Amino acid sequence: MHDFCFTIPYGLVMVIGGVIGFAKKRSTASLAGGFGTGFLLLIAGYVSLKAFKKRKNSSFALILETESSCGLQAFTQHPHGISFNEKDDQIPLITASKFEAKASKMLNGRMEYKLG
């Protein structure tokens, strides 16, 4: 499986989630975090797909995918922790954290495989 096979759908999910979060709660943080990171992942996936079609690797796409994924994990864990402390909202926190951790682990694992 190539990196763009996961990066493009994950980017789409992030973009849609950011737009839905903004539409429901008027949260600009959701829009910036979800849409912004998702858009970066879509760009990285597109660049990687184009490089794959030319039978080459794209260092730019690799770095963008990895940094977007790590940045997403860092920025999303802090608000979840605050939400948990204020509201005792444990179930959505656990579900979101598990999804984010698994998605980031898969993407970062793929990047490590590609580099190694």
Give the whole-number percent of the chain exceeding pLDDT 70. Answer: 58
pLDDT tens digits, residue range 29-42?
Answer: 778 878 888 888 89
Q: What is the rounded CA–CA span in Å between residue 102 and residue 83?
A: 21
A 10 A CB-CB count for 40 gives 20
The total of structural domains in the chain comes to 1
pLDDT of residue 82: 61
pLDDT of residue 89: 54
Higher pLDDT pick, 70 / 3: 3
Residue-number span of the structural domain to which 93 is assigned: 3-115
Residue 16 CA from chain centroid, whole number: 12
Query: In this model, does residue 25 exceed pLDDT 70?
Result: yes
